[in-house]
Structure formats: C-alpha cells, structure tokens
Amino acid sequence: MTQARQPQRIHNPTSIDTAALCAAIAADCKVIVQFGEHFAPEPLLADPDALAARCREAMEIGFYGYHFTPFDAAILRALPHVANLALDCHTSAVNLATLGELRHLKRLQLGVYEMLEHDILALENLRALEYLSLGETRKANIDLAPLRHWPQLAQLHTTGHVKNIAAITALPALAQLSLSQVKSKDDVDFIGAMPALKKLRFILGGRASIAHVAAPLLEDLEVVRVRGLEDLGDIGRFPRLQRLSVEDQIKVKEIRLGENPALAWLILRNCKTLERLHGVAVLPALGNLAVYLTQLDIDALLVGGLPATLNKLTLATGKRKRDEEIKAQLAARGYEKARFY
C-alpha cells in the first residue's frame, strides 16, 4: 500500500501561474486552488476555470471558511467548467441552487453548517457525481433519497446525515463509504446490502457494537474514535479484507481475527484497554503490523504471536525507555518500521 501523494495547495493567490499548475498536474500531482472569506477572487477565476476545462478532476477549486458573511454561491457562475469543487467550513450560504448550473461537476465537498436546502441533492446535474462529501450541519437533515438516481457515485462521506440513507444500497459503483458522527440509534444494517462496497470507515459518533455489520467484498475497514464501542465482532466475516485500522477505541478489549487470508495491514493505535488479539499469528498474508498504546503483551507477541510473513513491525507503549528497548529488539530481528497509514 503506497502513501498518497500530497496535493499542491494554493491559498488566496494574487495571480495564477497556469504553466506551473499544468506541469504539476502532468506530474500526477493534484492541485487545489482555494479562496477564503474577505478575499475577492472574481478577477482570477477565468484561469482556474480554463484549467478545470483542461484538467478536469485533477484541478480542485475551493471556497472555505466564510464564518462572518454568508458564502454567495452565485460566484460559481464564473466556473462553468469546474469538475472538482469544495464548498467547506461555511457558517451559512446563499444561492446554493447555483450548483445546479455546473454541468461538468464530478466531485463535490459541501459543508455549510446553517444550510437550509435540505433537498439540495435533488438537483438533476448532481446525478453525474462520482464523489460526494457532506459536512456537518446544525440539523443533520439533508435528504439522501435522491442518491438512488446517482449511478456513477463511487465515494460517499456523510457527517451525521442518514435521512433515507438506505437509498444508496442499489448503487452499482459505490465502493467507498465513510460514516462520521452517526448516532447509536441510527441503523447501519443497510451496509450489508451494498453490492460494491470495498472500503468502510466509521469515525466519531457512537455505538456499542458493529459485530452485525456485514460486507462480503470489503477490503478496507477503519474504525476511529467511535464513542462507547466495545465489540468489533469476528473480523473473519470479511474474507477479502486487506487492511484493518482501529484507533482511539478505549473500550475495545479484544479483537478477534478469523482466517482473513488477504489481511496484509493491521493498525492498532491508542486502544488503551486492548489486551487480547486473537488469530494474528496464523494470518497468511500479514506484512505490516503497527501497534501503539495498547495493553497487548508485547513479549508474548515476540515469542510466538507473529506470522512468518511479517516484515514491517512497530510496537510502542508510549514509554520512551521501553520503546527504545523494543525498537532495538525489532531491528535485531530484521523488521522494518511499520507505517500507521
């Protein structure tokens, strides 16, 4: 698994160097041009729009952080060719229906806390979106029902929005789902009916268990800071899983791995009560194991609890002297440093 290349981010530019941006995109680097509150971007927008027409999704144009004045989405009429748009971290906005005029849009990040347009996803042109990220709003009441008409949607992130979320279960291309701030009372059983889901992320929110969550094609599962979570269930129910990351889960005391023949990456970070890790020694494909701040018996792991396939390993307790000793042990055994991403 390779590290994603960092995008080139240009903040409130006074001019646009189109040649440099074209060269960066040609070198397979995503470019982000973003404008904040109290900055007048109108004279500059012709150049980003021309680049968007040429470079499509590789060119992200963003407007963010309008906290004291409403963001006026009418400015988007100066960007008719934008394919990748971020409207994020705004307190309020006006003229959001202008989004319906953007005929080339493929990726959209939408974060307006006081958003009144709960039916914004019904705009017909949005049906062509491949990526959608919905940020936090005060009422968390964006209606997701229109998503049933989005056959090209491949990635969805939603922060607290679950109204009619079962509409996504029939989407043939939806392979990545990120659920943030989903409440314990919210039903997530719809996940098992998603035909193409390969990557699933739970972050924040709360629930005691995800043991009932099924996804037969899942390859990547990430669980981060879900309040009250105690039970992940038998991980063996995900036979195609390649990567498992569990972070900031202070009530998870054990993780039960099954056969998991494809599991290559295992990341356990800041799970301070985790004391049992069942099945790790017999994983046939595990190559990267990163463990930080748990109650796992590290000496027992080193004696006989690790698979022969493992070549990248990090074990850390948060105590400097002990961690230096462990680091020396791992180096002597020929392990490379494992990554937490």
User: And the tokens for 195?
Assistant: 């035909």
Q: Tokens for 330? A: 């791992």
User: Any idea where the domains of the chain sit in the sequence?
Assistant: 1-133+154-159, 175-341
Q: What is the rounded average pLDDT of the residues 237-246?
A: 97
pLDDT of residue 219: 98
Domain 1-133+154-159 has CATH 3.80.10: yes
Rounded to an integer, what distance in angstroms lies between the CA atom of residue 140 and that of residue 197? 24
C-alpha dist (Å) from residue 110 to 159, 170, 295: 11, 23, 40
- In order of 4, 17, 152, 210, 246, the CA distances from 219 in angstroms are 17, 40, 20, 16, 14
Give residue-wise pLDDT tens across range 64-113: 999 999 999 999 999 999 999 999 999 999 999 999 999 999 999 999 99
Rg for the chain, CA atoms, rounded: 22
- Percentage of the chain beyond pLDDT 90 is 82
Name the residue with tokens 């390649």: 242
Rounded to whole angstroms, the Cα distance separating 126 from 129 reads 5
162-195: per-residue pLDDT in tens?
999 999 998 999 999 999 999 989 989 999 999 8
Q: CA 250: distance to chain centroid?
A: 21
Burial class (CB in 10 A: 0-12, 13-18, 19+), 22: middle
pLDDT of 5 higher than 80: no
pTM of the model as a whole: 0.92
For residue 305, the model assigns a pLDDT of 80
Average pLDDT of every residue of the chain: 93
Give the other-Cβ count within 10 Å of 30's Cβ: 18
H or E segment at 107?
A: strand 107-112
Structure tokens belonging to residue 6: 């960092």
Reported as a pLDDT band with limits 50, 70 and 90, residue 2 is very low
pLDDT score at 42: 87
Q: Which of 5-14, 151-160, 254-263, 280-289 is the least confident region?
A: 5-14
pLDDT at 1 over 70: no
